[in-house]
């Protein structure tokens, strides 16, 4: 899945306002323009019809045919024209006409209506200049457009101004949460504000942090107590087994039982050690860091792991091309990560198999032969998620590696190709 683009709540809310305002603008302006144009044309048509009625009632009764040219001369916006055969009763058109006052062609609304002069059919033409009215409507539309844009701009400006003031408590709370460190066990004190929702948020966060701090203290105490209480009896039990194995009067059957108990105790000790390590990692107890050279840690780890590799007849290839890769991390965790990763590759290898360790750029790559199929990646990094029941182990090695990577933001990936299992750690 692609990364979701993150946006500020303010900008996202504002985008809805602007979208609504833009939609309203697209609907309102054309509606305004066409409504007023239609309304004004209707009013002009009513006026022209009123003019026609007045002329037909009061003037045409006494008009003679020979007086028509003179009548046309003295009526600048009214003309009596020959019958064109197209006008039935009355018709309106919008067209250009010559305005004698303006001395130019202007946009007019014209009424053509049939009349009779001394029993003969003529057409009465009455026109009215609507150019100015058109300009008024266009100016009104432009004014509405400016008004809407000013309104939208006002939304943006006011929202940003209010944002700085209204959302200040929220961002103060967010800043306090980001700087909160559970190891300090100090619950941050959020500033008092007069916004109910932010006050409720602060109260909820304070309660959550208080519960988390309490749980952290309990887990830390358990880890410390368990480390002492469990390791001591295990060490005593193991030492007693050592003493008993050294006795001379043990039968062969007793020796086998003692050996099995010794192996079980050693495995239990390793599991206990690894579980305590995981608990400490989960509780962020490895908070001290220092600058570490990965090549040096790798060299120190390989010095005692190679004996185990040679005992299993594993051919090891080491390629350290970047000897200056430095990390800011806890030394114990870094050593544990590399040790567990390489130990896992040795344990799950095959006799006469291959092991490859590469350190290049900012990556550590550990490859090994093993089972002839890809491992289940859902179970791979789970605790006690053992991939091979034939191999003795706690099933915690890769879980420890994963948790250390999570703590420091490093990426770990697994892939299987050409009968080779490959783990890659990218030190971001």
Per-residue pLDDT 10s for the chain (428 aa) are 445 666 666 677 778 878 888 888 888 778 877 887 788 888 888 888 888 888 888 777 778 888 888 888 888 788 888 887 766 678 888 888 777 676 778 888 888 888 888 878 888 888 888 777 777 777 877 888 888 888 888 878 887 777 777 788 888 888 888 888 776 667 778 878 888 888 888 889 888 888 888 887 777 777 667 766 777 777 777 788 778 777 777 788 887 887 888 777 777 777 777 777 777 776 666 677 889 888 888 888 887 788 778 877 888 888 888 888 898 888 888 888 888 898 888 888 888 889 999 998 889 999 999 887 888 777 787 766 655 555 555 567 788 888 888 888 899 999 988 888 999 999 88
The CA distance from 365 to 82, in Å, is: 101
| Residues 143 and 81 grouped into a single domain | yes
pLDDT at 425: 92
pLDDT at 1: 43
| Residues 247 and 346 grouped into a single domain | no
> What is the domain range of residue 142?
10-153
| Buried residues in 413-426 as b, exposed as e (16+ CB within 10 A) | eeeeeeeebbbebe
> What is the DSSP track for 323-363?
TT-EEEE-HHHHHHHHHHHHHHHHHT--TT-EEEEEEETTE
> 131, 153, 175: which is the final residue of a domain?
153
Count other Cβ atoms within 10 Å, centred on residue 369.
21
CB 191 within 8 A of CB 171: no
pLDDT at 367: 92
360 within some domain: yes
381 three-state secondary structure: coil
pLDDT at 39: 83
342 within some domain: yes
pLDDT at 395: 66
Q: How many domains does the chain have?
A: 3
| Residues 108 and 25 grouped into a single domain | yes
pLDDT at 426: 92
- 81 pairs with which residues across the strands? 123
Phi (first) and psi of residue 129, to 5 degrees? -65, 120
> 263, 282, 301: which is the final residue of a domain?
282
178 within some domain: no
123 within some domain: yes
| Residues 109 and 232 grouped into a single domain | no
We report the CATH number of the domain holding residue 384 as 3.30.565.10
CB 99 within 8 A of CB 105: yes
179 three-state secondary structure: coil
| Residues 356 and 260 grouped into a single domain | no
CB 400 within 8 A of CB 389: no
The CA distance from 114 to 82, in Å, is: 10
Sign, CA torsion 123/124/129/130: negative
4 within some domain: no
161 within some domain: no
| Residues 326 and 379 grouped into a single domain | yes
The CA distance from 342 to 20, in Å, is: 60
> What is the DSSP track for 263-286?
HHHHHHHHHHHHHHHHHHHHTT--
CB 368 within 8 A of CB 421: yes
Q: With residue 70 as reference, give the H or E element that holds it.
A: helix 68-74
| Residues 141 and 34 grouped into a single domain | yes
| Residues 144 and 274 grouped into a single domain | no
pLDDT at 2: 47
pTM of the model: 0.49
| Residues 323 and 396 grouped into a single domain | yes
| Residues 274 and 354 grouped into a single domain | no
The CA distance from 19 to 155, in Å, is: 12
Count other Cβ atoms within 10 Å, centred on residue 158.
10
> 265, 282, 299: which is the final residue of a domain?
282
The CA distance from 339 to 95, in Å, is: 93
| Residues 15 and 136 grouped into a single domain | yes
43 three-state secondary structure: helix
| Residues 141 and 224 grouped into a single domain | no
The CA distance from 48 to 108, in Å, is: 12
Nearest to 399 by CA among 414, 421, 415, 384: 384
241 within some domain: yes
188 within some domain: no
């Amino acid at each position: 899945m692609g990364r979701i683009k993150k946006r500020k709540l303010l900008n996202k809310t504002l985008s809805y306002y602007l979208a609504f305002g833009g939609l309203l603008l697209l609907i309102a302006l054309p509606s305004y323009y066409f409504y007023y144009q239609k309304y004004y044309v209707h009013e002009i048509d009513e006026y022209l019809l009123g003019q026609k009625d007045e002329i037909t009632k009061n003037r045409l009764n006494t008009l003679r045919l020979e007086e028509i040219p003179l009548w046309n001369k003295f009526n600048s916006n009214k003309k009596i024209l020959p019958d064109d055969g197209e006008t039935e009763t009355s018709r309106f058109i919008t067209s250009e006409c010559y305005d004698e006052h303006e001395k130019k062609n202007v946009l007019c609304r014209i009424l053509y209506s049939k009349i009779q002069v001394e029993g003969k059919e003529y057409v009465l033409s009455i026109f009215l200049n609507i150019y100015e009215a058109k300009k008024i409507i266009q100016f009104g539309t432009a004014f509405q457009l400016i008004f809407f844009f000013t309104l939208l701009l006002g939304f943006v400006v006011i929202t940003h101004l209010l944002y700085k003031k209204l959302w200040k408590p929220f961002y103060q709370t967010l800043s306090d949460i980001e700087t909160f460190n559970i190891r300090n066990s100090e619950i941050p004190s959020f500033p008092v504000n007069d916004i109910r929702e932010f006050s409720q948020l602060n109260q909820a966060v304070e309660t959550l942090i208080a519960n988390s701090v309490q749980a952290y203290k309990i887990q830390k105490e358990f880890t410390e107590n368990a480390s002492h209480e469990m390791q001591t009896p295990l060490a005593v039990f193991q030492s007693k087994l050592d003493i008993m194995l050294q006795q001379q009067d043990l039968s062969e059957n007793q020796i086998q039982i003692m050996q099995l108990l010794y192996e079980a105790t050693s495995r239990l000790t390793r599991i206990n050690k690894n579980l305590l390590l995981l608990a400490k990692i989960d509780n962020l107890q490895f908070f001290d860091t220092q600058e570490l050279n990965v090549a040096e840690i790798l060299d120190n780890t390989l010095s005692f792991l190679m004996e185990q590799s040679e005992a299993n007849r594993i051919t090891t290839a080491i390629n350290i091309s970047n000897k200056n890769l430095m990390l800011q991390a806890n030394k114990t965790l870094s050593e544990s990560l590399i040790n567990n990763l390489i130990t896992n590759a040795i344990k799950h290898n095959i006799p006469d198999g291959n092991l490859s360790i590469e350190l290049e750029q900012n990556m550590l790559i550990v490859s090994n032969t093993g089972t002839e199929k890809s491992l289940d990646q859902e179970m791979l990094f789970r605790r006690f998620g053992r991939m091979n029941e034939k191999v003795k182990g706690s099933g915690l090695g890769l879980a420890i590696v994963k948790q250390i990577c999570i703590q420091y933001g490093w990426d770990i990936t697994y892939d299987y190709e050409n009968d080779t299992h490959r783990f890659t750690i990218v030190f971001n």
